[in-house]
A and B are shown apart, each in its own frame.
Chain A
Amino acid sequence: MAVKSIISRPVYGTLSPQPGKHHLFIADAEGALAIAEMARRAPPGFFDDAEIVFIPGPDGKHVAALEALKPEQFHQAPSFASLLPRLRQTLANAHMGLRLYLAGTEGLIGQAMQVALEAGIDHTSMQTEHRGSLARRMQCVHCKGITENVTTQPATCAHCGLLLLVRDHYSRRIAAFQGVCINAEDRSEVPPMEEIFR
């Protein structure tokens, strides 16, 4: 789990069944386990009005466990990018009473939340549960490029190549942590790169 940090760093909870007319679950990899555990606490018939959208991890696990919940709809996507058009339409057509549940890696939760925010859903109304990797999405404050799956501190910007301090300062709108040049004042200072976001 993420350690206590600054206020802009997201805090995740534990999924719990919410009152609502329709339930949309978006999960990746081990996020499936959060849904399965929540299902044990859910009232009978809860998944009759649920849609689960799942991006399996590299091991391809947990698909059967989610299908076993017998949601009204189950959709498996190979990546978040491939999921985006469908997700945007689902949210655009959604009615009052839709509840959103996001589970899995920080990158998945953040990007799904970003799309939901754009659709006008308040972030405090979304259920979130972090499972799996702590790898970060990072936006370079200098060139604005996003680097996915950052595991080191500092990290190299995949776009402009600057060596960046990965801050805890987080933007829901951008769905990324902020990266700021770590040796801007003296480029000859190159701090060692450590793998800390796993």
Chain B
Amino acid sequence: MSGGVDSSVAAALLHAQGYDVVGATMKLFCYGDEVPDRPCCSLDSINDARRICESLGVPHYVLNLESAFGHDVVDNFVQEYAAGRTPIPCVRCNTFTKFRDLLRKADAVDAQFIATGHYARVIGGELHRGVDPSKDQTYFLWGIDRAVVSRMLLPVGAQTKAETRAVARSLGLAVAEKVESQDICFVPDGDHAKIIRQRLGDDTPALACGPIVLADGRVVGEHEGYARFTIGQRRGLPGGFAEPMFVVAIHPETRAVVIGPRDALLGRGVVAREVNWLVDAPAVGARVQVQVRHRAPAAGAEIIRVDGDEIELALAEPVAAITPGQSLVLYDGTRVLGGGFIERAAGTRPRLPVLAALAG
């Protein structure tokens, strides 16, 4: 329980359905730098969770998973940025922290299920998208152990966010009107460079100056650290081009940030690693839907290669901004088949921009 509306309502709904509920809040990092009014993961939100449980008449515990979270999630987060990728820490938190470490705490108190406030559903032992398409969180849940799915209870996944808030209001929960958490919980001010600097030191190459280049290697500017960029980003790039320019690649070995026009972002295939299946692994040739970004529409794809825990798919239509480090999630309708971390886009065509200003 984060102290937010979703997990609070999840607890309240299960309690009302007659489950023997035990509330738990994970303490995942040090609260040294308190940010006021944070919707979750702060001292105040722990107190909110505790008060919700007190009002329901169920026990509540704060579980210190700081050291494992630091290793499994935060360290990986900075390493991914240093490797020129854009990490998705919520996936690793779900995989390792919530649905592995926390589950073992649940075992210690004989809890049969682990319930969260995720917008997703478990139907017949399989994971499905939540009912509310704008809130669906399966993009972050593909990495959990398949055997755990049948132990998951996701009560808010069967309703919309508006319905969740309505339930919170009807139950008189104090958190009903709480704002949505948008940031990564351990990067409360959105300044991920600060965490990278804290963990890797002031002289990390990831935050050192480097060139901004075109696909042919021409230097068109300078940046203050490739870890500040992600694929598809426009902010912080030099102007003077006749068409909008985007980050299309990051090369940590040369610290180069490659930029290009919109169609240079398009990928016709995608390679993912650390693939995890929540159903029996589909065969090469299987047609699926894939999602390569949170909240992006699903795209048709065909599995063209499976190599251990690496997979390659051909996309039916080009997809923009396939970003190494983000999730690739495979679906069959609302059913989650599995997923992996994007290694690279395949089938991209580098194209140089129309050099209006530069040429002139």
Chains A and B belong together in one complex: no
